[in-house]
Structure 1
Amino acid sequence: MIQLPFIQRLKWEEYMALFLGFFFVIFEKLLSCLAFMIHNTLGLFYRSVVRNEIKKRSKKRSRSRSVSLQRAKAIHDAADIREMCKISGYYVEDHLVRTEDDYILCIHRISKDSPGRIGSPHPKKLPVVYCHHGLLMNSEVWVCNVDPRNCLVFDLVNKGYDVWLGNNRGNKYSRQHLRFDSTDKEFWDFSIDDFAQYDIPDTIDYILKTSGQTKLTYIGFSQGTAQAFASLSIHPLLNDKINSLIALAPAISPKGLHNRVVDAFVKARPSILFFLFGRKSILPSAGFWQSFLAPKFFDAVLAYCLSQLFNWSCQNISSYQRLVSFAHLYSYTSVKCLVHWFQIMRSAEFRMYDNDQLGHDYFLKYYKAAKFPTNNIRTPIYLIWGGSDSLVDIQAMLNALPAEVEHVKVDSYEHLDMIWADTVKDYVIPPVLRRLRDIHHPPEHEENDKENREIQKNHIAPRNKPI
């Protein structure tokens, strides 16, 4: 009997995942074509229904509740980060960073100064904080809180810090290259390796030069923490430019996905994933579906996907906050970047991208992609992680990082709760501020903040804080 190598290489879960993935891609394409034809009429109908529903609810609520609904709708409908910040009385200054490999990254500086006066005519020499988003996100995720008291970025600005928000190549704000168009396959040929090699160090150098400082504090969320870990591990001199790395919902080597079939699919051979999704941007039609579907329906679909993939309930995030957050959640990245994460999940180690795409057990004896040497990081690290976060394997993370790492656990938090939960002001912002006060002398206008001084003096957590 003739033996087929392809048949022998895959397990039954992988065959099922391959079939379902292929069916999903075909179905999604057909559905996109159908939806495109009725978008102009049905899309307008959906949006008018939602607006009328919000107006009706606003009349039935108290004035404060009505204000919250109006604010939620304004942030939900905002076209970009500039409009989102303006709603809360903050301003955005755009800066363009050219990486060594010729990508143009747009990063944002947040301030209460009026446009054109942020950092002008001379830098204010304030302590610098650089925040970086997670996978399939952009800088907007930091400023879409319905309750501004839960917005870490705005609180840092109020406390007197010079706050910058980064963006990865390929996302909404960073789709420019000096040699390639975003429609070229070469533009999307990047993974976590490239974020670590170019995006993070080049952005940090630009921020320090522009702000006139020699060091900054890095605050990362999810993949934004992994990019920092990787970059610090391969750029030893970068450790001298970051006085502390604060990692929210840190990620190094997630165990996998909640759904067994999907988990087998994403851990399959990269060639299968590239066959299904191509070698450019992952799910490029996602933006179309978000604009087409009614917000509540889109919210329900995304919540179902998060539940199936990661077993997240999002119970700590209010319904209105979830509507707003999900509207600004998705941003483009490369298929190669997702494949890189799937390789990391499969190996259960934080490794560089496997260009040979071998990935099967019988090759491990002869070849492995290089591990990021994260134990060599010299920058002080502070982890804040959720006890219900399925993507955080805290013990594996502590084993991969230097022994001096400090960490704080928030028992009831899932992954997205770190930036969007209704209790961020109680469970996340206070430890971040305490960490920053340990690094910097408090700005003058913070000296009268009695509550913060008491927390720092007694080293206690806020009331009812389960960490």
Structure 2
Amino acid sequence: MFSFLLFVLFSCSSYIYCIEVCEDFKYYVKPDDKHCHDNPDGERNLTEILKNWKGVTVEEHNIFTKDGYQILINRAYTHKDKNPVVLGPGAFFTTLAFANRGNKSLAHHLILEGHDLWIVNFRSGPYSRGHKSLKDTDEKYWQFSLYEMAVYDLDSALELVMEKAGKKGIYIGHGGGSTIGYIYSSVKVEAAQSNLKGIIALGHLAYMDGTKSYLRFLLPLVDYLKPVINQRLHGEFPLDWGELKCESLLDYYTYEIGKVPIYGDDFAEIDPVYLPIMRTQNKQKSVGVNVLIHLYQIMKSKKFQAFDFGAAVNQQKYGQSTPPEYNISAIPVPVTIFLGNNDWIATNPNAQRFYSQLNPDVQCGYKTVECSKWNHNDFIEAKDIELFLYGPLFEAIDNMSFGMCVK
């Protein structure tokens, strides 16, 4: 049973080694030159994809956080007329998910609109595996939670944006990326006031109790197996559970069906043109076990809280035996939330609970995407993402840029 559950969760993290793409799924049965072509982005890293866009200036900033982790921040722009925008991926996603769909990519639209774009590659991602004194095969390297990704990684990134651009950034986080934004702005309130213009959450994630996703069954197993994961895998939980080749149309549908218990179903929004690329690049190969356990603790406790180390260590770190809750009302910057009607991870009741606890002055919009089957992955991968998401999203960005909080 355990093996089956792991397969269901992480089949969506397997890799498809097929870079030929077709305009419709029916052409994958027997590809031809008229309807199919090779997409070179499948072999490129994030910097290479950005540099391939006409007229775009690209910078790489490798920096060290205050706790010693090396993270890569990508910058891309044309004329930089508009406010800086900072993108942060979810816990299971790489930053390539923002850029590997050509002109349809969120990164491309932001640059085209004149924004100074910054993309945060959080610690342990494919471009951020370094450390001043640790190797990524050391158990100590992996002993971080969402808290460290927020108060060290995102904090360092926003400081860099302010230093180089001279303006506050608007942070857009997907899923767990939004969680990181909330932790940062509720813990480092003064830094957020100085360096952050606002937060836009795509597939908002804070409270997690009552989630429909099968993560409610799988995350407890990770918590139970933590001693084994630390001993055998130095605290690095693998998300790459094997190779899934796109040899038939059935393979694609099998692959997508395997995702449904986690993210929700929306087969109409599967994009045949970019599916092989997204499946090759979008998912992390691994994640720190404490990141998963932190999500589980938030789910189990029904609280948006700090990492629970156990009573004794909690007393040392927090001055109390239980982990403190993050002070949502202390978030000092405008927050806009986007939800999907069919998002099995981020539910409407949990989002409403969070939004109601924000200071009314920073409640800057609670929006549901106007597509009845919109799920958690659709914020990154939907075929009609330009139709359903980009209009209201760019309106929210413009409102935040000009200091208008339209609720």
Q: TM-score range by the shorter chain?
A: 0.7 to 0.9
Residues 153-193 of structure 1: CA distance to partner in whole angstroms, max 9, x if unpaired? 21111111100100110010100000001111111111001
Amino acid of the structure 1 residue aligned with 2:356: N
Residue in 1 that maps onto 2:2: 20
Hey, what does 1:263 align to over in structure 2?
216
1:280 pairs with 2:246: no
Query: CA separation of 1:250/1:50 partners in 2, compared to 1, >3 Å: closer, same or farther?
Result: closer
SS at match of 1:333: strand
**Taking structure 1 as reference, are residues 280 and 55 closer, same or farther at Cα in structure 2, changes over 3 Å only?**
same
Matched, 1:318 2:271: yes
SS of the equivalent of 1:371 reads coil
2:163 is aligned to: 209
Secondary structure of the residue that 2:31 maps to in structure 1?
Answer: helix
Counterpart Cα distance in 2 of 1:239 and 1:345: 26
Amino acid at match of 1:395: Q
Distance change in 2, residues 1:437/1:186 (3 Å): same
Change over 3 Å in CA distance of 1:436–1:263 after alignment to 2: closer
Partner of 1:224: 177
TM-score when normalising by structure 2:
0.81
Cα distance, 1:303 vs structure 2: 2.2
Letter in 2 for 1:81: L
CA contact (8 A) 1:246 1:384 kept: yes
Check conservation: 1:274, 1:335, Cα contact below 8 A.
Answer: no
Once the two structures are superposed, what CA deviation does each residue of 1:35-80 show, in whole Å capped at 9, x if it has no partner?
Answer: xxxxxxxx9xx869999x869634343xxxx5xx44xx323x2231
Q: Quick one: structure 1 residues 127 and 24, their matched pair in 2 at CA, closer, same or farther if it must change by over 3 Å?
A: closer
Q: Pick which of 163-172 and 416-425 moved more.
A: 416-425
**Matched position secondary structure for 1:110:** strand
- Larger displacement relative to structure 2 (96-105 or 266-275): 266-275
CA deviation map 1:111-147 (0-9, x unaligned): 348xxxxxxxxxx67521111111122211101225x
Query: In the alignment, what sits opposite 1:397?
Result: 354
Give the structure 2 partner of residue 444 of structure 1.
none
TM-score in terms of structure 1 length: 0.71
Identical aligned pairs, as a percentage? Answer: 19
User: Displacement, 1:238?
Assistant: 2.3
Quote the offset at 1:309 in angstroms.
2.8
Q: Aligned pair 1:343/2:292, yes or no?
A: no
> For 2:72, which of 96, 106, 120 is the aligned residue?
106
1:20 maps to amino acid: F
Return 180-189 or 398-407, whichever deviates more: 398-407
Cα distance in 2 for residues equivalent to 1:323 and 1:400: 41
Flag the 1:340–1:209 CA change in 2: closer, same or farther, 3 A. same
Does residue 43 of structure 2 align to residue 78 of structure 1?
A: yes
Structure 1 residue 175 corresponds to structure 2 residue 129: yes
- Give the secondary structure class of the aligned counterpart of 1:200: helix
Give, in whole Å, the separation in 1 of the partners of 2:132 and 2:203: 34
Moved more, 159-168 or 84-93: 84-93
> Relative to 1, partners in 2 of residues 1:357 and 1:20: Cα closer, same or farther, differing over 3 Å?
farther
- How many residues are matched? 374
CA–CA separation in structure 1 for the residues paired with 2:91 and 2:198: 22
Structure scoring higher RCO (CA < 8 A, sep ≥ 6) equals 2
AA aligned opposite 2:235: K
Cα distance 1:283–1:295, how it changes in 2: closer, same or farther (>3 A)? farther
CA spacing shift, 1:410–1:183, aligned 2, 3 Å: same
Aligned position for 2:188? 235
In structure 2, the CA distance between the partners of 1:355 and 1:254, relative to structure 1 (3 Å rule), is same
- State the shift of 1:320 in Å: 3.0
The change in CA–CA distance for 1:107 and 1:268 in structure 2 (over 3 A counts) is same
Structure 2: distance between partners of 1:314 and 1:400: 34
- Deviations 1:392-433, CA, capped at 9 Å, x for gaps: 232232234333422111142111111221222122222222
Name the CA shift for 1:410/1:181 in 2 (closer, same or farther; >3 Å): same
Superposition deviation, residue 218 in structure 1: 0.9
Which of 426, 447, 451 is equivalent to 2:387? Answer: 426
- 2:317 maps to none
Matched, 1:333 2:287: yes
- Please tell me whether the aligned partners of residues 50 and 294 of structure 1 are also in contact (alpha carbons under 8 angstroms): no
* Structure 1: tracts of 5 or more residues without a match: 1-18, 29-42, 114-123, 359-365, 442-455, 460-467
Describe the shift of the 1:302–1:195 C-alpha distance in structure 2 as closer, same or farther (beyond 3 A). farther
Partner Cα distance (2:391, 2:260) in 1 = 29
| Closer, same or farther: CA 58–110 of 1 in aligned 2, 3 Å | farther
1-structure distance, mates of 2:20, 2:222: 44
**2:173–2:202 Cα contact (<8 Å) kept:** yes
The match for 1:57 among 6, 31, 54 is 31
Please tell me whether the aligned partners of residues 254 and 348 of structure 1 are also in contact (alpha carbons under 8 angstroms): yes
Task: Give the secondary-structure state (helix, strand or coil) at the position aligned to 1:428.
Answer: helix
Indicate the residue corresponding to 1:353 in structure 2: 307
Deviation at 1:95, TM superposition (A): 0.7
Give the counterpart letter for 2:120 in structure 1. G
- Gap regions ≥5 residues in structure 2: 11-15, 313-319
Tell me how far 1:302 sits from its aligned partner: 4.2
- Name the CA shift for 1:160/1:201 in 2 (closer, same or farther; >3 Å): same
Output the amino acid matched with 1:110: A
CA distance in structure 2 between the aligned counterparts of 1:310 and 1:284, rounded to whole angstroms:
16
